[in-house]
Homo-oligomer: A and B are copies of this chain.
Amino acid sequence: MRLFNFKSTKQVIGVVALAGLSTISFAKDKVYTWKIATTWGPTLSPFIDTVHNMADMVKEMSNGRLVIRVDASNKHKSPFGVLDMVKGGQYDMAHSASYYWKGKDIETLPFTTMPFGMTAPEQYAWFYYGGGMELMQKAYKKHKVLSYPGGNTGNQMGGWFRKEIKTLDDLKGLKMRIPGFAGEIMAKLGLAVTNVAPGELYTSLERGALDALEWVGPGMDIKMGFHKIAPYYYTGWHEPATELQFLVNEKKFKKLPKDLQAILVTAMKLSAYDMYIQNYAMSADSWSKIATDYPKIEIKTFPTEIMDAMKKANKELIAEKSKDSPLLKETIESQLNFQKKAREWTIMSDYLYLKDNLK
Interface residues of A (CB under 8 A from B): 3-4, 6-7, 10, 12, 14-16, 21-27, 57, 60-63, 116, 119-122, 124-125, 128-130, 154-155, 157, 217-218, 235-237, 240, 257-259, 262-263, 266-267, 269-270, 273-274, 276-278, 280-285, 287-288, 291, 299, 301-302, 307, 338, 341-358
A23: min CB distance to chain B, Å = 5
**Set of chain B residues within 8 Å of A10, measured between Cβ atoms:** 27
Contact partner of A63 among B7, B15, B355, CB < 8 A?
B7
Q: Is the CB of A259 within 8 A of B60?
A: yes
A146: min CB distance to chain B, Å = 17
**Set of chain B residues within 8 Å of A125, measured between Cβ atoms:** 277-278, 280-281, 284
Contact partner of A266 among B26, B157, B266, CB < 8 A?
B266
**Set of chain B residues within 8 Å of A60, measured between Cβ atoms:** 258-259, 262
Query: How many copies of the polypeptide does the oligomer hold?
Result: 2
Q: Is the CB of B16 within 8 A of A349?
A: no
Q: Is the CB of B349 within 8 A of A121?
A: no
**Set of chain B residues within 8 Å of A267, measured between Cβ atoms:** 266
Interface hub of A27, A217, A307 (most chain B Cβ within 10 A): A27
Q: Is the CB of B26 within 8 A of A345?
A: no
**Set of chain B residues within 8 Å of A283, measured between Cβ atoms:** 345, 349
**Set of chain B residues within 8 Å of A273, measured between Cβ atoms:** 270, 273
**Set of chain B residues within 8 Å of A276, measured between Cβ atoms:** 121
Q: Is the CB of B121 within 8 A of A352?
A: no
Query: Closest residue to A273 on the B side, CB-wise?
Result: B273
* A–B complex contacts, Cβ < 8 Å, 11 sampled: A4-B26, A25-B26, A27-B27, A128-B278, A130-B281, A235-B356, A236-B349, A240-B353, A284-B342, A299-B352, A347-B358
